[in-house]
Amino acid sequence: MSTSYYVYYRVPPANAAQARKVVDALQRELSNATGIAGRLMRRRDDESTWMEIYEGVSDSVRFEAKLAELAERHGLPGLLAPGSSRKHEIFRGF
């Protein structure tokens, strides 16, 4: 059974351009390492709220470890809004 990950967080406008580059690089490396291609979206009514979506994950342990490693290595937490963190929502199909 595959799993889907929805990772959301807030990025201040001053960090948006740099954060976009970081997330693009993170998702490229993650896809190369796991075969899972991610998507990046922004909330329609609040462009500072971003969401990464990863679907079809079969090896959750490996995927989660690689995602955490890449976020830290690329410095994504330092680009988030003060007091913000990356929140993970994880869903499985029926």
List alpha helices for 1-94, DSSP H. 16-34, 60-73
Q: Domain 3-92 belongs to what topology?
A: Alpha-Beta Plaits (3.30.70)
Q: Residue 94: its pLDDT value, please? A: 86
pLDDT digits (tens, 9 = 90+) for 20-74: 999 999 999 999 999 999 999 999 999 999 999 999 999 999 999 999 999 999 9
Q: Compute CA distances 24 → 21, 40, 41, 63, 74, whole Å.
A: 5, 8, 12, 17, 10
Q: How many CA atoms lie within 13 A of 86 on its CB side?
A: 21
Taking the whole predicted model, whether its pTM rises above 0.85 is answered as yes
